[in-house]
Amino acid sequence: MAYLQLDGITKSFGDAHIIKGIDLAIHQGEFIVFVGPSGCGKSTLLRLIAGLEPTTAGRFTLDGRDITDTPSGKRDLAMVFQSYALYPHMSVYDNMSFALKLAGVAKDEIRRKVEHAAQTLNLTAYLARTPKELSGGQRQRVAIGRAIVRAPKVFLFDEPLSNLDAALRGNTRVEIHKLHRALGATTIYVTHDQVEAMTLADRVVVFREGRIEQVGTPLELYDRPANQFVAQFIGMPSMNMVAAAAIPSFSAQTGGLLPGDGFLGVRPEGLRVHPGHGAGVPGRVELIEALGADTLIHIDVSGTPLIARQNTRTALQAGDAVGVELDPSVLHLFNREGRAVGAAA
């Protein structure tokens, strides 16, 4: 049985329909990531779960209890915001303990919980400081600590790393992952960053325009995308999409399974690039991106742009002639509506 159940959730602001019927079952202890482009409704849905916005229709059930109309403060959820939302005049200790004080928790119990959370998050040395004396990563850890001390049934994270620089974002992502393993808490995490989704999630929920496109483990979405949108949203660089008629020799390798008006998808690592006019379809190098451990080769094949990834360095340069082969074992086939051939309707 689901720990948190979403049944037919919709949300409209006037004539604008933002959430268009969401059904989702989340199990206890899961780390669920909502991912999708800006404006797809993922943060709005998180706010609906938190009770910060009323639903237009549908029902939320948490641990067997209907919480659809329960006030936010009584849902037994804790939310960590993108903007930290710390009280600037309060110390770290007071920020982390504030909700417990309002709830009338005994002082000794508050101190025990705050000190335990501070130790978990490496904040013990900063408990007397105010937010302005902390770095961005430390402030985000304080916001997480404030959620931890409440011991909620579900943690809600709304793009908590967006305000951090790239290196700090990576470090904090690792800390959140370790924290989830240590606490074993049910977590819903919203992001537009697919790297966060792929590295943190037990299951990823991909949104587009207020609807769920696909739910699955990170590698299920990567290996078996249900449609073109998921295929191109998950993975960096994006999956190459080739119209069936654009490169006939590629389409011929699908054994007649590719619809004539469909699309052939192949990830960058599924392409092999050979110097000169040797094996494969002739093409021309447009750009080389040397990333150190990986090399991305941008190629034009009969007017179709492709990106190949290889884990070795290359002597190729822009303008060089090449031959391009694809690995037929990793092809993805889509019909003209963008649905994976063979996927459930």
pLDDT in tens, 250-302: 999 998 899 999 999 999 999 999 998 778 899 999 999 999 999 999 999 99
Residue 313's pLDDT band, with cuts at 50, 70 and 90, is very high
Amino acid at the residue 265: G
* Helix 136-148, helix 166-183: angle, nearest 10: 20
Contact 323, 280 (CB under 8 A): yes
Tell me: pLDDT of 1 over 70: no
Whether the upstream peptide bond of residue 237 has omega within 30° of 0, thus cis, is: yes
Average pLDDT over residues 75-92: 88
Instruction: Supply the pTM of this predicted model.
Output: 0.89
Helix (H, G, I), strand (E, B) or coil at 223: helix
Confidence at residue 314, expressed as pLDDT on a 0 to 100 scale: 94
Return the domain boundaries, the chain: 4-223, 238-334
Average pLDDT over residues 173-184: 84
Residue 48 CA to residue 8 CA, distance in Å, equals 12
Mode of pairing for the β-strands spanning 57-62 and 203-208: unpaired
Separation of alpha carbons 119 and 309, rounded Å: 42
pLDDT in tens, 56-76: 999 999 999 999 999 998 999
Check residue 343 and give its pLDDT. 53
Measured between alpha carbons, how far is 299 from 308 in angstroms, rounded to an integer?
8
Question: What integer pLDDT is reported at residue 50 of this predicted model?
Answer: 95
CB 153 within 8 A of CB 63: yes
Q: What pLDDT score does 344 carry?
A: 44
Q: d(Cα 215, Cα 198) in Å, to the nearest integer? A: 13
pLDDT in tens, 15-70: 999 999 999 999 999 999 999 999 999 999 999 999 999 999 999 999 999 999 99
Banded model confidence at residue 177, pLDDT cuts 50, 70, 90? confident
Q: Is the pLDDT of residue 246 over 80?
A: yes
Do 312 and 295 touch, CB atoms closer than 8 A? yes
CA distances in angstroms from 44 to 4, 18, 24, listed in the order given: 17, 8, 15
Count Cβ atoms within 10 A of the Cβ of residue 125 and give its class: 0-12 exposed, 13-18 middle, 19 or more buried: exposed
**4-223 is classed CATH 3.40.50.300:** yes
Secondary element (H or E) of residue 204? strand 203-208
**What separation, in Å, do the N-terminal and C-terminal C-alpha atoms of the chain show?**
25
The number of angstroms, rounded, from the C-alpha of 133 to the middle of its chain's C-alpha atoms is 31
Quickly state the pLDDT bin for 342 (edges 50, 70, 90). Answer: low
Strand order in the sheet with 304-310: 271-275, 321-326, 281-290, 295-301, 304-310
The CATH number of the structural domain formed by 238-334 is 2.40.50.140
Q: What is the pLDDT of residues 189-229, one digit of tens each?
A: 999 888 899 999 999 999 999 999 999 999 999 999 999 99
Stated as kind and residue range, the H or E segment containing 115 is helix 107-120
Q: Where is average pLDDT lowest: 171-185, 223-237, 275-289?
A: 171-185
